[in-house]
Structure 1
Amino acid sequence: MRAERAFDPFTQDSTPLESDALTLLARTILRDYRGRIALVSSFGAESIVLLDMVATISPSTPVLLNETGMLFPETLDYQREVSSMLGLSNVQLVRPTRQRLAAVDPDDMLHRFDTDACCNLRKREPLKRALAPFDAWITGRKRFQNSLRAELEEIEQDDDGKRKVNPLARWTAADIAAYLDRHDLPRHPLVSQGYPSIGCEPCTSRVADGEDPRAGRWRGSDKTECGIHYVEGQFIGGGGI
């Protein structure tokens, strides 16, 4: 397990882009919001890049995963594998309450006729509750992922006044792939099966060659985001994690 230690990104064997991201993370985790910041991660296709960086800086940083009850089993297996490998000691599974599930989605069918309501129940509400003790949170969003994220800033403010830190905002898909190769990090097992973007199992499908990587999310609808970066239906500074 990685131990807490003084961290200097410029002593790491990293590219300039990596150093920039590590510098931002180190400043926010170790200085600006020390003890008051969490990483929100889906443990999806690209998540291990940011998880690896955070583990390098401070492996006890809280990591929040929306465990909606509908994640792929492979995602939960991957979460355990990656957490153990990186020495992440404070991974928290964020779940909807039993009372809310019983009241709003007792038969687990809400996603079939109201995906926005399902995401609100299983993602937005639980995450808002989990983030309450923190002053800032880290996301893995990137500008290249869709048009809504094209103007994404590295530091934003959410509707609750919390800072949102996006260290990979300027990264491209090639940058992500290069980091994975450079650091010999394990891919999510579903990526090789045609899932370049991974969410809940009922709302994620395989992507054909030539399709947009996020085409498999909520296929057949206009929905492109889970909603955790929306407030009263309005887009706030970026898309889903």
Structure 2
Amino acid sequence: MRPEQDFATVGERVAALNDRFRHHAAGAVLREALNAKETGRVALVSSFGAESVVLLHLAAVVNPDIPVLFIDTEMLFPETLDYQHDVAKSLGLTNVQIIRASRTQLAAQDPDGTLHQRDTDACCALRKTIPLEAALTPYDAWITGRKRFQSGTRAALEFFEAEGDQRIKINPLAHWGPSDVQDYLWNNKLPRHPLVAQGYPSLGCAPCTSKVKEGEDPRAGRWRGEEKEECGIHFIDGKMVRGPIKETVE
């Protein structure tokens, strides 16, 4: 089903959705987003990382046949690949699609697998952003597990966002705090990613993810030592975020 054209632009549809669901809980936002006329065809994108099982469980309860796009950068921890398989099976998710970079593009741009050592932005674009954009082509909206507390660049995150003028991004867990995540994991007896207990509260590709020390920000281990907070899959005002956004308090 294509999105309803009652609203002239994606931005106007997003504004209407945020107004309608402003006081809804995460489960209700997810359920309604899958059926709202404004969202059209929807997929869920998951890294099967540290907290991904929460959103995947919510989605499986609503619709276990929802398309789930998993980007295998071919540089992930082996534990993540095993976890992806086990979680999808245990939750009964029937439509998990494995997304990988083009063989031709990999051969041309990263033939020896060392691009991440020279240019992390280019590596993320090659192995994550470009493959995901191609995979999202059939969809009008996609669901993420992003939350406001995860970083300064996400502090004002809403349930619905306009991604350019083509697609809507849905963030059902936007208003959840760390305790909400932990409570949901505990109450539903969900399996944790095995690396969380080893000091990895936020997980990406193995070469660019390090352990986080006590007292550090949970995402401190992502691209450690670089002014980079996002891989390029998520944009702020149409631009990839490399460093923290300076906020002005008035």
TM-score of Structure 1 vs Structure 2, range by shorter chain:
0.7 to 0.9
Aligned partner (choices 55, 59, 64) of residue 54 of structure 1: 59
Aligned partner (choices 167, 176, 179) of residue 184 of structure 2: 179
Q: Secondary structure at the match of 2:57?
A: helix
Residue 170, structure 1, aligned to residue 197, structure 2? no
Q: Comparing 151-160 with 53-62, which one deviates more in the overlay?
A: 151-160
Structure 2 CA distance for aligned equivalents of residues 52 and 123 of structure 1: 23
**Counterpart for residue 216 of structure 2:** 211
- Paired residue type of 1:59: P
- Paired residue type of 1:216: G
**Counterpart for residue 117 of structure 1:** 122
RMSD of Structure 2 on Structure 1 (CA): 2.1
* 2:147–2:175 Cα contact (<8 Å) kept: yes
Structure 2 CA distance for aligned equivalents of residues 110 and 233 of structure 1: 24
Structure 2 CA distance for aligned equivalents of residues 150 and 216 of structure 1: 19
**Counterpart for residue 147 of structure 2:** 142
Q: Which runs of 4+ in 1 moved over 2 A?
A: 30-35, 230-233
TM score, norm. by length of structure 2: 0.84
* Cα shift at 1:160: 4.7
Q: Which runs of 5+ in 1 are unaligned?
A: 1-18
* Cα shift at 1:217: 0.4
- Paired residue type of 1:230: F
**Counterpart for residue 228 of structure 2:** 223
Q: Percent identity?
A: 58
* 1:155–1:165 Cα contact (<8 Å) kept: yes
- Paired residue type of 2:72: E
Structure 2 CA distance for aligned equivalents of residues 154 and 102 of structure 1: 38
TM score, norm. by length of structure 1: 0.87
* Cα shift at 1:97: 0.5
Cα distance change of structure 1 residues 34 and 235 upon mapping to structure 2, 3 Å threshold: closer
* 1:65–1:91 Cα contact (<8 Å) kept: yes
**Counterpart for residue 106 of structure 2:** 101
Structure 2 CA distance for aligned equivalents of residues 231 and 158 of structure 1: 9
